[in-house]
Amino acid sequence: MLQLDNRVGSGDLTTYFTAWKVPHQLTRLEFADVAFIGNGPGAMDIPIGVEIKKVHDVLACISDGRFAGHQLPGLVEHYARTWLVIEGAYTVDYTTGLLVHRRGKRVMPVSIGTRQFMYRDLSNWITTIETKTPVRVRRTSGRVETARFCADLYSWWTNKTWDEHRSHLAFDEPLPDRGLLVRPTLARRVAKELTGIGWTKSAAVAKKFRTVMGMCMASEQDWREVEGVGKTLAHKIVQELENN
């Protein structure tokens, strides 16, 4: 079942989902405009979120930083995979490099108040979001295309199992580590300092023991139950914890 935030800005998409027979319900989402559970690797349930913003909203985010400061951490914390949809037709002026949109035959700068934006302002912001966060960005020309993208995304994640998607051939990408943007727990921060653990394995350690006290009280056998920790490494870790 696809969940659709019932507030202004996304609630109207129910008209399209109803017409296309996409199972959905209106609800209040703390983060994202559209959310659902997809089929992940190993039959794991994967929470998916879609945040929808019009071009002017994105430019406002560039100006005041509210997306990076509040929405982005919330999206990363709540969803394993997130898409940001930027809705609206825009392009670049060949001569000036300004971000522009068309009104009939007229070409108008895209602006907020008196501030005009260069095309590179938006382009570079999108590149930063896609490169340095787990969020993917998709452009749509208008409301119908936005609704269609959300419906198709829901279909992709729910109509097949993870392994049935084979268009990528030999390429695959692991789920993003949400600890990269959300402040990690104390247990994970301590675990990454242990001999032979580091940042990658620290996630498995924090999941196993939950607390620093749990790590300190664990036996070598307990440590060997952590993925990637063998007999020798478990012995070294227990000694390290006992000596410190």
pLDDT in tens, 36-71: 999 998 888 999 999 999 999 999 888 887 787 778
> Where are the chain's structural domains?
2-161, 183-243
The pLDDT assigned to 177 comes to 58
Per-residue confidence band for 121, with pLDDT thresholds at 50, 70 and 90: very high
DSSP letter for each residue of 38-69: EE-GGG-EEEEEEEEEEHHHHHHHHHH-HIII
Tens of pLDDT, residue by residue over 72-103, are 888 988 999 999 999 998 999 999 999 998 77
Q: How far is CA 14 from the centre of its chain?
A: 23
Residue 230 clears pLDDT 70, i.e. is over it: yes
Distance, CA of 99 to CA of 84 (rounded, Å): 19
The Cα-based distances of 111 to 22, 58, 64, 140, 142 in angstroms read: 36, 11, 14, 19, 18
Identity of the residue numbered 1: M
Instruction: Tell which CATH classification among 3.30.1780.10, 3.40.50.970, 3.40.50.10130, 3.90.1010.10 matches the domain 2-161.
Output: 3.40.50.10130
Provide mean pLDDT across the span 11-38. Answer: 94
Q: Other C-beta atoms within 10 Å of 169: how many?
A: 6
Residue indicated by tokens 């995304």:
153
The tokens 């993925």 sit on which residue?
227
Across 50-54, 136-140, 174-178, least confident range: 174-178
- Give the CATH architecture of domain 183-243: Orthogonal Bundle (1.10)
Q: Which residues contact 148 (CB under 8 A, 6 or more apart)?
A: 16
Is pTM beyond 0.85? Reply is: no
